[in-house]
Structures are given as C-alpha cells and as structure tokens.
Structure 1
Amino acid sequence: MLTKEWQTEIHKCAKCGKCRSICPVFIETGKESMVARGRISLADALRNGEIFHTELLREYLLSCKKCLRCSHICPSGVDYDFIIQTMLDDLANNIGIWLIPRIVFSIFLTRRGIFNLLLKIASVFQRLVPLKRHGTMRHLPFMFMGGRWIPPLAKKPVLKKYRGMKTIKHPKMKVGFYVGCLINYVYTDIADAVIDVLNHFEIEVVVPQGQLCCGIPARSLGDVKTARRLAEVNVAVFEKAGVDFIINACATCGRTLKKDYPRILGEQCLKFSNKVYDITEFIEQYCNYTTKLQNTRVAYHDPCHLYWGQNISKPPRDILRRSAVFQEMENPERCCGGGGVFNLLHYDLSKKIGEYKATAIEKSGAEIVATGCPGCRLQIEDLLAARNSPVKCTHTIQVLRDAILPPP
C-alpha cells in the first residue's frame, strides 16, 4: 500500500543528482532509471497514475543494489530504501512474485528441515558438476549460471554442529548467536571463530536451533508475508533463549535484524533489535583483550550494510590493527558488487562493479582481505578467483581469533 509517509518521502527528493556520483550501478551503466533520482521519479509517476505496475518497473527496482550509500549522502535526507521497498511490496501485491522465488520463500525458507534436505541434494550435484576454471565450484541456486566461483557447501551446517554447546563455568554474560544462511551452510569457519573468540572471553554462546533466515531475500522481492513470518519466528526464538545480547557476523543479516524488523513487526520488536550487535562492534564495546600481532599483511573491505547500513567502520579496523599488519586499501567502502538478489539477477553487472574492488585489493599489497559479511566474501572470492589471485578473503573475526588463540 502506497502510504502518505511514502508520498512525503518522495517529495523530499530535490532531484539534485548527487546520488549519481556514488551509485555503483549508475557509474557502470549511466542509466537514469538505475539511480536513486531516476527511481524516485518512477515512484512519483506511479503515484500520479502515469505508469503502472509492470515487469519492466520491477526490473528497474531490482537493478538497485540497496547499498544504502545514496541515503547516506543525500542532502535532503531522503529515505530511499523505504521508497523502493514500499514500491516492491506494492508491486508484489498487485502483479505477484515470480513463481520459483515464491515457492522457495513460502516452502523452503520457513521450514528448516526441508531447506536442509534441498541443500543436501544440491551438495551431491555440486560434486558431480565439472569445473570450468581454477577454483570454480557450483551449487544451487548457481548450478546452471556459468563459471562463477562458489565455495562448497559445508558437510555439517552450523546449527547442527553446535546443537549442544559448551557451557562456561562462570560466564561473564550469555549471548545468542544469530548465524544466517551463508554462514550456516557455507562459511562455517566464520561461526567457529565467533564461538572460539567469545568463549575465550568467558562469554557463554548459545545457538538457538529454531532460528530461520533473516528474511532479506523475501523482503527484497516484496514478499511481506514470508518476511514477517520469518521475523516473528526469529524474535520468538531468541526471546525464549533469554540472552543478554544477540551477536551476528553478517552485515546484511545484522542490518535486517536491527533496522528492518521494527518496520516489519512494529515497536514491540525493539527489545529484540536493541540487543543485536555485529561481532566486531560487540567485542570493541564489551571485551578487553590482548593479541599477539601476526606478521600477515591484511586489508579491509567495508560491507555496504555495515558501513552505510549500521555506521560501523572503526571497530573492525581497530581489531585488525591489533591483530596483523593492517594496510588500508583505496576506497575501502566502495561496493564490491555483491548484493544478494542483485548478484543473481545482474551477475555480469556485479562483476563490472567489483573489478575496481579486486584491483584495489591487489594494489594494497595485502596477503589477506578481511570483511564483515559472508556475502561480500563470496563476491570477493569470485572476483579474485577469476584473476587467479593469491590473495585470500576471510572474516575479521577469523583474523582476531588467530591473534589471540594458539593454533589447534
């Protein structure tokens, strides 16, 4: 439903065009329909009945990466994300959601057991698919999408691996770990590092088994019903766990839990959202620690949903400076080109956007590039694999773990 709040937000836009200077999609395409100002003009036309809900309109909306940089730089303070999301919700309500995403969202995302079975089957196919270039591995939903680099699915998901948690004798506090899909099914090494580090700080970590996807894939396509259902389950599961804080290691999941859930569920969700911390934010605010500086050159990539979405940039850098030989890359906050649904629908464009990032990483002279989002890690590994680059990508918490804990 196109509300008065939505219309008011549209009128804030002065059409100054400042968004054109920083939009990663516009920089590559030069198309006015693919920048905040242009899409807001489409919103105004929709409001006035000059255009209607069509697949072409959906295409323009989904060409947005939702990196949030335009809202951050906008001199008029336009909440661009709210404008676009409202349009996507309204469009889905009027002409529906594509069949396959609708099935995935309504059946698989809301039922962990069925989703696990689907990915288990996918992992079998993954082993059978021939590799087309060095490092290339493919699995659903990328099975037939060419030679992109995709890491193998984990043999055991995080939620299964940490079903029975180690208890701390005299814990300083108890935190819940919101895992997220990529970490749960692919980058389980990130979860290992999160739990190892927090346990080292004498913090008890629980991984609630009933947690589901944060809902951002469904939300991105306007499936409000599924997004709300996932949010309700996650809030209930963590409230039942009785934790002091909720920790996450995914920039996109973190922003969704903090910022989107109150919009989806209302103010009753604030008690939950106010407990949510990115792992680096939490460590710098609540943990005292010493490190053994590692002789490894490390650069840092700012995930959009951490830097622009949560205003978190100093904590990960502080951690890296205390853990390794930190080397700042050129424009570290520039988008890597990932972006979830955007990456699936506009893979070639995402690669073009990411080329600058891959070059900046290599120019930095770093051996490792750390980041705070598994989605960015996925994209950066793909970009570096295409260049046969020796640079490795990891999560900031893994660099810290190596600096405070002896190797096993």
Structure 2
Amino acid sequence: MDKAADSALLQEAKKKAGQCDRCGACLPVCPLFGAKDVELSSARGKNAIARALAEGGIESTPDALAAVNFCLLCRACVENCPSKVRTDEAMIDLRQFLVERTGATNAKYRAVGGLLKSPGLVRLAAGTLAVLRRLGLNDLFPHGMAPDEYTRAHFLAAFAGPAALGQKAPSADVTVTAATKVAYFYGCGMRMMFPRAAAETLAILQTTTRVLRPDNVCCGLPHLAHGLRGEFLALARKNIRLYEDADLVVSDCASCGGTLKHLASFFADDPQWRDRAAAFSSKVMDLTEYLVKVGYTPRRKVKAALTYHDPCHLVRGQGIKKQPRDLLQATGKFIEMEEADTCCGGAGSFHMDYPAISAKILGKKLRNIERTGAAVVVTGCPGCLIQLTKAAKSSGGKFKALHISQVI
C-alpha cells in the first residue's frame, strides 16, 4: 500500500473516532472493559488512540498496534453509542495503517492467512482434524481449536420427539422455485472445525431447492482483521466471480455472512468491481434468514430445552435476531438467555491471543447458560461454537453446544 493510501486510512479512522464525544455509554457494554476495567480496553479509549495517532500525539509503533488489536470487534459499543460511532471499523483501519507503517503483523496471522487463502490447504487441514478426532487426539490442539463434535445423531438420540411438527416458521415473502439458483458458501471454520454441522446445513437446504456448491475461498475476514487487506480483497474478487451465476448465497457462518454482505463497501471506489461487489453482497443470506423466508419446517420436534447465543456478526453485523429464535421455538422449548447477545470472547483469534481475558468473558456466558436450565445452547457461528463447546465441557455435562443446523 502506498503512503497516500496509508495516510487515507489513518484519516478515515480519525473521522470515525472523532465522532466520539467521550460520554462513556460504551463502557458498561464492552466485554473487555468489564473483564479488565481499564480505559484503554474500551471503545472510548481506542477512539482516543485513533485521534492521538492522527494528530501526532503518539507514534506508530508495535505497542500501538497491540493496543488496537485488543478489541473483539463485537460492535456492542456501536449499538449502544448515542452517536453510533463505528469504533470497530476505525480499529480495522488502524490495524491496517499500523501494519503498513510498522511491518509488525504477527507471523502467526500471516501463516494462518496463507493457509486460509488456499482451498487445498483448508481441505488438508479439515482432513487432518477429522483423523485426529477419530484417534481421540484432538485435545492436543490448544485453545479448543479442534473441538469434539456433538452431532445431530447424538442430539436426537437424547432428545428426539415426533418426526413432524404441527406448525411452520413464519411464512416467506419470497418464492424459491426449482429455477432459483441457491448456492452454499462453505466457510473455513465450518469446513475444518464442524464439518458434520455443515453437512446438516446442506441436508436442510436440499429440502428447499437444488443447491449449487462452488469451490469458494475464504471470506477474508481473518485477513481484513489483521492488516492483510490486499489478501482480503483478492479473496473477495475470487468469491464474487465464483457466485455470479447464483441468485442467492446462503452462509451458515455468521462471520462469513457478515463479511460477504459488506463486501460492496470495500469496492465503492473501484469502477471495475463496484457493481459486481454490490450485486454479490445483495444476494447473501444467513441460513436462518433464508429458512424463515421460505417457510422451512424444522425436521423434528425435540424434548430438549433450548437456549441461544447471538453471534456478534449475526445480531449486530447483520441485524438477525428473530429468525433463529422463531426456528428454535418451532423445534422445542425455547428459553431466552440473559445477555444472549454479549460476546462469548472468541472473536476470531482473540481467544488464542488473550486466553485469560477470553476465559473470563466465557465464564460469564457459561453462568448465564446454566441459569436457563437448558440442555442445549445453540448458535450460528463456528467461532462461537468453539467457545461454547469449551463452556459445555467446563459445565461437567450440564448442557451441550450445537450449531443451529444440527437442531432444526
């Protein structure tokens, strides 16, 4: 990236952060401020960093990069802010700026980014994890990155009820016919960590229409979040090309879906890709969003009490809150969880970079799940599911964690 573009990123971050009037409305909803109680952890503190960098008050150093990396990008601050200051976007801009200025991108991020941009390596990693699970060696991976899969078969064996339900989820305002080209976006997290949940997604989609399966690449969020914007844009272009013939693109990963829906904004100044990116983003749908629109009937009534954790990239990134609850209420006894939309502490690589803080945030989520008395906590993001699987294990068997495709 040239220096002009580099400086433009800093000024864009300052423009966003400059709207902060320091009222402190972000403090009570920031999971990091709640866990650490340090101003620098909060959105207000991070916006102060953005202004100071732009005005020359602090230098562009690896320490500054570390400070802006200490963010979940969960958007809780944005939602609670009276001025709707887009602190998460400012932090992504600052990360890119500081990586370019300092060259301090963590080698781990570059290595993971290199793996995720290669479909062949992602498939190899998925196969390796599957073998390790069969051998019972997956616990050797740190931070729960190779979790046991509690499958739909296990779930039905414990909680199965009648095979047919007497009611449907809310009816559709769109029509999907045999002519509608519905494509599945197979995210890296689902492919590597939860392939059986992804298989359930496909099984559900195939009850509604014929499903296209382009050999997509990573959505690029891990690259974007860690200062590898060039790689993110290259991946975006590949996916836009791959899905141009599809009418709808369905994702069962909140992080992928949220990223893909916002691709258009990254190509707004690119005349070659602007319209193509906008067309792509406009046809991306979350799995639950799609299923509610087509009037999907969950496959089986279950006896289990269910609760739900809202992924940040779904509830705040896409505004999807009601649809998963409608589907779960049509499946079993649904119990709302306190602070269901508070981040679980996973946040991509955050739980690996800051395990102690992540564990503290997850501990609060664990207590909220247990208070519901639910047998199963459901979510729609593989990153969250990694965290919730750790919580389920820590609960001593009080509950299990499942992707929503495995329940409905």
TM-score, normalised relative to structure 1: 0.84
Assess if the C-alpha contact under 8 Å between 1:232 and 1:265 holds in 2: no
Greater Cα offset, 189-198 or 41-50: 189-198
Q: Where do 1:271-290 residues align within 5 Å?
A: 271-289=279-297
The alignment status of 1:8 with 2:11, answered yes or no, reads no
User: Secondary structure at the residue paired with 1:137?
Assistant: helix
Matched with 1:198 is 205
Post-superposition Cα deviations, 1:240-268, rounded to whole Å, max 9, x if no partner, equal xx111000011111111012x12333333
For residue 221 of structure 1, what is the amino acid of its counterpart?
Answer: H
Assess if the C-alpha contact under 8 Å between 1:138 and 1:152 holds in 2: no
Cα distance, 1:238 vs. partner? Answer: 1.1
Matched with 1:73 is 80
Cα distance, 1:108 vs. partner? Answer: 2.4
The alignment status of 1:51 with 2:47, answered yes or no, reads no
For residue 288 of structure 2, what is the amino acid of its counterpart?
Answer: T
Distance 1:93 1:344 in 2: 23
Matched with 2:26 is 19
The alignment status of 1:230 with 2:232, answered yes or no, reads no
Assess if the C-alpha contact under 8 Å between 2:302 and 2:331 holds in 1: yes
Equivalent position to 1:322, from 310, 316, 330:
330
Matched with 2:213 is 207
Distance 1:153 1:393 in 2: 9
Q: Where do 1:8-407 residues align within 5 Å?
A: 8-96=15-103, 97-105=105-113, 107-117=114-124, 120=127, 137-139=139-141, 142=142, 148=144, 150-151=146-147, 171=178, 173-201=180-208, 203-209=209-215, 211-239=216-244, 242-259=245-262, 261-266=263-268, 267-268=274-275, 269-289=277-297, 292-400=300-408
Cα distance, 1:63 vs. partner? Answer: 1.0
Distance 1:271 1:48, change over 3 A: same
Matched with 2:160 is none
Assess if the C-alpha contact under 8 Å between 2:96 and 2:226 holds in 1: yes
TM-score, normalised relative to structure 2: 0.84
Distance 2:373 2:354 in 1: 30
For residue 214 of structure 1, what is the amino acid of its counterpart?
Answer: C
Aligned length: 368
Gaps of 5+ in 2: 1-5, 151-176, 269-273
Cα distance, 1:60 vs. partner? Answer: 1.1
Q: Among the aligned pairs, what percent are the same residue? A: 31
Distance 2:134 2:102 in 1: 38
Post-superposition Cα deviations, 1:285-327, rounded to whole Å, max 9, x if no partner, equal 1235376532221111111111111111000000011111111
User: Secondary structure at the residue paired with 1:247?
Assistant: strand
Distance 2:45 2:207 in 1: 50
C-alpha RMSD over aligned residues: 2.3
Distance 1:119 1:189, change over 3 A: closer
Post-superposition Cα deviations, 1:333-372, rounded to whole Å, max 9, x if no partner, equal 1221111121120111111001111111111111111111
Cα distance, 1:10 vs. partner? Answer: 2.2
Cα distance, 1:274 vs. partner? Answer: 0.5
User: Secondary structure at the residue paired with 1:394?
Assistant: strand
User: Secondary structure at the residue paired with 1:86?
Assistant: helix
Assess if the C-alpha contact under 8 Å between 1:371 and 1:377 holds in 2: yes
Matched with 1:162 is none
For residue 230 of structure 1, what is the amino acid of its counterpart?
Answer: L
Cα distance, 1:190 vs. partner? Answer: 1.9
User: Secondary structure at the residue paired with 2:249?
Assistant: strand
Gaps of 5+ in 1: 131-135, 155-169, 401-408
* Larger RCO of the pair (alpha carbons < 8 Å, separation 6+): 2
